[in-house]
Amino acid sequence: AGVALPLGAAGGVARGSTGVTKAGAQQMAAKPVQQLASGAAAGAAGGYTRETGGDAGSQFAASLAAGVASPFAMAGAQRATGSLARLLRPAVPSAQQTQQINITINNALQQSGLALDQLPAQVAQSIRDDVAAAFRTSDQVSPDAIRRLADYRMTGLTPTAGGLTLDPGVVTRQKNLAKVGINSKDQTAQFLGQTENRNNKLLTGQLNNLGADTADDAYAGAQRIIGAVERRDERARDVLGRLYDRARDSQGRSAALDHVTFTNRAADLLHDANVESFLTPDIRNKLNDFATSKTPLTVEIAEQFKTNIGRLQRSSTDGNVRYALGAVRQALDEAPLLGRGAPVQPGAGGLVTVNGQQNLGQKAIDAFNKARRVNRTYMGIVEKTPALQAVRDGVEPDKFVQQFIVGAGKDSTFSAVAQLKHAIKANPVAMQSVREQIAGHLKSRALNGADDELGRFSQAGYNKALSAIGDRKLRLFFSQKEIDQMKAVGRVAGYEQFQPVGSAVNNSNTAAAGAAIVDRFLSQSVLSKIPFGQAAIGDPLQNITVGFQSGRALDVPRNLALPQVPARQPAGMLVSPAVVMGMLATTPEEEEEKRRGLLSP
């Protein structure tokens, strides 16, 4: 049934053979334990097939399958054990080696704008350990793979060979391998596919950690922010109100201003600028009333007149009209108290008098000027803060965040958002609401509005939204460490979803994505002739192969190391088992064609 060389006999065969036979015997002699396991498995499988009535061809096929599978399984176990031993073995680099490792990592991180000492201590040390392990297997490591590894470690995702190397061939094999494994019932074979799914969820989890998991939707979050802006505006209005009340309550508010000086100065300014014709009728009538003393020009009336002029200036879109109003306002600001400039005499109670008039009028003017100066400063802030102006005008919350924070229009420029922050910075709840709404906006773009457990993270949608907000606005509400985290999320999402040109990823999730050698063997009709062949040989062999290759995909040091130049192989190369199986296993159609003489024997 099964045929195997006695242990140690392969060495003799190697000495007395040439070519492929010699190379194969040398391989067997070099691995006597695997030779023994292969022979035992081959004999057992062949014997079982013979006892169940299989013919000679079936017995040979069963022996071959078991003989090939056993060394694969042993080699996989040995490599896994070796990898585990390498990870568990304490390896403390020397001071010089540690310095070189740090230099290598920092050079690799420059493209991302990071440095090793900027990373969390645990993240930095894990990268050092991986790079040190890679140097134990290769003299060179990939800077690009190290840079990508840092992003994986910062975000907590599990790095894979495809994501670290972005090699088209590696990406193709890994994606197809994950699909094969996830369709298996074996948990070990499923591990790579489950890792990809877990990584997708962790991307969303990173945004949730920054506040995207808030219970507030955009409407509720905007209400909190608007409430803070309203309270800020109310405080400013209260201050202004008290200043104006103090000015109005002053005893000098009824003091008379020099109406002749005022009207003459206004006429001169209008004439010099050639804007007399642009003066609004109501203001022209007021000037005539002051000139003829029909309306007395007191401090209080002058302040009311200034308020009217300011309102007209803000509402007018004609530059000439605004200039004409400004000229009248200038003349009014320059108007002196009636009799000012005459000899100063002490008045009753020590008050200064001008031509017998107490200086209370000037104090009233100063009080009004102070109130107006504060009001002018605050209104300048309002004009520079579109969100504040909108709140004063009664904005609705539903579009507030998009229009005044995360959008790209004139109302959400960096300067406008900076002014909004200034308005709410004393309110921690509002500041946190802005953070949550920004993070929630990014998550919504990444998941396209889907729930966390159902959504597929879109690196394109996320990175576009992140870029639209920009670093400068992000720095207003997030620390640099948090911004680095956001950017790392975008980069890792790109690594995970990268499908380069030239990669043959089977996106249809069909069985055609089978694992190379194993699938070619399992597709042969011979295996179907072996009793329990699929269950006893095919499925375990596939699971072993998928599990082994998945382990290689998750071996970080291996994927950081650049490949060594291979040593020259012996002249007689060992024939691949896949070639042997391809030659031996034939389909019923091929057997029929042989009988007909269509194929050479």
Average pLDDT of the residues in 247-275: 89
Please tell me the predicted confidence (pLDDT) of residue 340: 54
Q: How confident is the model at residue 290 (pLDDT cuts 50, 70, 90)?
A: very high
Please tell me the predicted confidence (pLDDT) of residue 388: 95
Structure token digits, residue 464? 């576009």
Q: Which of 135-144, 177-186, 260-269, 480-489 has the lowest mean pLDDT?
A: 177-186
Task: Indicate if the pLDDT at residue 339 is higher than 80.
Answer: no
11-43: b or e for each residue (b if 16 or more CB lie within 10 Å)?
eebbeebeeeebbbbbbbbebeebbbbbbebbb
Average pLDDT of the residues in 425-430: 95
Task: Indicate if the pLDDT at residue 72 is higher than 70.
Answer: no
Q: Which of 62-71, 97-106, 133-142 has the lowest mean pLDDT?
A: 62-71
Cα 153 from Cα 199, distance rounded (Å): 12
Cα 180 from Cα 263, distance rounded (Å): 92
Please tell me the predicted confidence (pLDDT) of residue 5: 43
Average pLDDT of the residues in 454-477: 96
Cα 61 from Cα 80, distance rounded (Å): 28
Q: How confident is the model at residue 129 (pLDDT cuts 50, 70, 90)?
A: very high
Please tell me the predicted confidence (pLDDT) of residue 300: 86
Cα 118 from Cα 113, distance rounded (Å): 10
User: Which of 258, 246, 250, 255 has its CA nearest to residue 361?
Assistant: 255
Task: Indicate if the pLDDT at residue 371 is higher than 80.
Answer: yes
417 in Cβ contact with 404 (< 8 Å):
yes
Kindly give, in sequence order, each residue whose CB lies less than 8 Å from that of residue 488, ignoring residues fewer than 6 positions away.
Answer: 112, 150, 151, 154, 155
> Within 10 Å of residue 151's Cβ, how many Cβ atoms?
26
Q: Where are the domains of the chain?
A: 1-90+565-601, 232-358
Average pLDDT of the residues in 238-257: 85
pLDDT digits (tens, 9 = 90+) for 22-44: 444 455 455 555 555 566 666 66
Structure token digits, residue 207? 């945004």
Task: Indicate if the pLDDT at residue 432 is higher than 70.
Answer: yes
Q: How far is CA 409 from the centre of its chain?
A: 22
Average pLDDT of the residues in 437-445: 96
More confident residue, 577 or 261: 261
Please tell me the predicted confidence (pLDDT) of residue 106: 95
Q: Which of 75-79, 411-415, 537-541 has the lowest mean pLDDT?
A: 537-541
Task: Indicate if the pLDDT at residue 87 is higher than 60.
Answer: no
More confident residue, 594 or 335: 335
Please tell me the predicted confidence (pLDDT) of residue 41: 60
pLDDT digits (tens, 9 = 90+) for 316-329: 999 999 999 999 99
More confident residue, 270 or 299: 270
Please tell me the predicted confidence (pLDDT) of residue 251: 73
**Computed from CA positions of residues 445, 450, 451, 457, in that sequence, does the dihedral angle turn out positive or negative?**
negative
Please tell me the predicted confidence (pLDDT) of residue 153: 96
* 256 three-class SS: strand
More confident residue, 191 or 371: 371
3-state secondary structure labels for all residues of 81-110? HHHHHHHHCCCCCCHHHHHHHHHHHHHHHH
Please tell me the predicted confidence (pLDDT) of residue 447: 96
446 in Cβ contact with 477 (< 8 Å):
no
Please tell me the predicted confidence (pLDDT) of residue 165: 93
Average pLDDT of the residues in 127-144: 93
pLDDT digits (tens, 9 = 90+) for 543-574: 555 555 666 778 899 999 987 655 555 544 44
Average pLDDT of the residues in 294-303: 90
Cα 273 from Cα 320, distance rounded (Å): 10
Task: Indicate if the pLDDT at residue 386 is higher than 90.
Answer: yes
Please tell me the predicted confidence (pLDDT) of residue 445: 96
Task: Indicate if the pLDDT at residue 356 is higher than 90.
Answer: no
Please tell me the predicted confidence (pLDDT) of residue 582: 42
Q: Average pLDDT over the chain, rounded to whole? A: 78
Q: How confident is the model at residue 396 (pLDDT cuts 50, 70, 90)?
A: very high
Task: Indicate if the pLDDT at residue 134 is higher than 90.
Answer: yes
Cα-flanking dihedrals φ and ψ of residue 317, to 5°?
Answer: -105, -5
Average pLDDT of the residues in 460-489: 96
pLDDT digits (tens, 9 = 90+) for 581-594: 444 444 555 544 44
Cα 50 from Cα 60, distance rounded (Å): 10
H helix or E strand, kind and range, residue 466? helix 459-469
Please tell me the predicted confidence (pLDDT) of residue 221: 94
Q: Which of 65-79, 411-425, 488-502 has the lowest mean pLDDT?
A: 65-79
Per DSSP, 537 falls in state I
Name beta bridge partners: 421.
none
Q: How confident is the model at residue 486 (pLDDT cuts 50, 70, 90)?
A: very high
* 557 three-class SS: helix
Q: How confident is the model at residue 79 (pLDDT cuts 50, 70, 90)?
A: low
Please tell me the predicted confidence (pLDDT) of residue 344: 39
Please tell me the predicted confidence (pLDDT) of residue 296: 92
Q: How confident is the model at residue 215 (pLDDT cuts 50, 70, 90)?
A: confident
Task: Indicate if the pLDDT at residue 480 is higher than 60.
Answer: yes
Average pLDDT of the residues in 276-283: 93
